[in-house]
Amino acid sequence: MGMTMTQKILAAHAGLPEVHAGQLIEADLDLVLGNDITSPVAIKEMHKFTKDGVFDKDKIALVPDHFVPNKDIKSAENCKCVREFACKNNITNYFEVGEMGIEHALLPEKGLTVAGDVIIGADSHTCTYGALGAFSTGVGSTDMAAGMATGKAWFKVPSAIKFELVGKKAPNISGKDIILHIIGMIGVDGALYQSMEFVGEGIKDLTMDDRFTIANMAIEAGGKNGIFPVDELAELYMKEHSTRPYVIYEADKDAEYTAEYTIDLSTLKPTVAFPHLPGNTRTFDQIKEPIKIDQVVIGSCTNGRLDDLRIAASFLQGKHVAKGIRVIVIPATQAIYLQAMEEGLIRTFLTAGAVVSTPTCGPCLGGYMGILAQGERCVSTTNRNFVGRMGHVDSEIYLASPAVAAASALTGYLTDPATV
């Protein structure tokens, strides 16, 4: 039996001619990632090891992004811990305030993730880099510690689900709508510990930002990772951003999948995940009552990239957000922020009555920069809407695309972008 794309990458990094689903392997790592929440835990674990130092100072990325700039003393102490560890070990890819960004947007932008890599990160949305044809997955801080020390990690080889994308996107459809549609279809555990492998002619109609968004939310379906084949667009992105060599792997024609789905992009509608699960999805023709909102957040590792900001700005240009609605826009990296400024997008947001933040995960995880009070509702381009995720346990989060978020900001209600 042939191997899937993910299985081929893992086999190569384990030094094996082939692997099969369920097999336990030890694989070499190309990159180990941590942030200001998970890295301090990993660093403390490393103090228990007999080995001193890290396996390769160039293959570790430390990105303080969750509570940065620091919101309180605790977050400042965590960042200090990471900073001192990075200095002690001469970590090449440590990103301080002023050069940092939201980790899963920053690392591809910096050229640290390329096709054929095996990447672990102590953050569940590390699966983002599958958009470039890498195997990347989230791990716990203890596994991060072991990875930093040894350059290796243990994996159970995942089985896979094939998603064949066909057709072209309908108006106002983006990667966020596609992945929300898929999660709504298979459920939040529909791909539990499986590789979500995206194929098909429809991929040609997806931007890289669309692909990053889709891979980013594979974990919300329970997936071990999400992965795309490497086409001309992906190669162009890597050549533009990275000097690292990359390896292209393709699934065998007789690769085995536990399930196969066909997604016709032309039939999809703007999709919203209602509280309190990413799989609780509805399209606007299924929403019977007006949903009044209090806040809109446009940003995060899911939808804080340049395409996302351009889409949101196209709705807000020359208009003003509804009275009493708080709109927070967070460019995902410094480079994205600068480009958005040069294109006039920041001016559009500010004149429309939004605020623009430095890159941070802040409101996505209920950290800061947009906490919800009891009874408040937020339309957010982030990736999770669990109970209390962005604040009070009696608040509500509606996950949506930048188009839906911007349209909703203008009306004060959850709004179909086609109607504004």
Domains in the chain with CATH codes: 5-264 (3.30.499.10), 271-419 (3.30.499.10)
Our CA angle for 181, 193, 164, nearest 5°, is: 40
pLDDT one-digit tens code per residue, 6-17: 999 999 999 999
- What mean pLDDT is predicted for residues 141-166? 97
Mean pLDDT value of segment 81-106: 95
What confidence score (pLDDT) does residue 100 get?
87
Is residue 37 classed as helix, strand or coil in its secondary structure? coil
Distance CA 19, CA 9 (A): 10
Q: What is the percent of the chain where pLDDT is above 90?
A: 97
Q: How confident is the model over 283-292, as pLDDT tens digits?
A: 999 999 999 9
As to burial, measured by CB atoms within 10 angstroms (0-12 exposed, 13-18 middle, 19+ buried), residue 343 is middle
> Which tens digit of pLDDT belongs to each residue from 46-91?
988 888 899 999 999 999 999 999 999 999 999 999 999 999 999 9
pLDDT digits (tens, 9 = 90+) for 399-412: 999 999 999 999 99
pTM listed for this prediction: 0.95
Helix (H, G, I), strand (E, B) or coil at 138: strand
Instruction: Indicate whether 1 pLDDT > 80.
Output: no
- Whole-number pLDDT of residue 52: 82
pLDDT at 50: 81
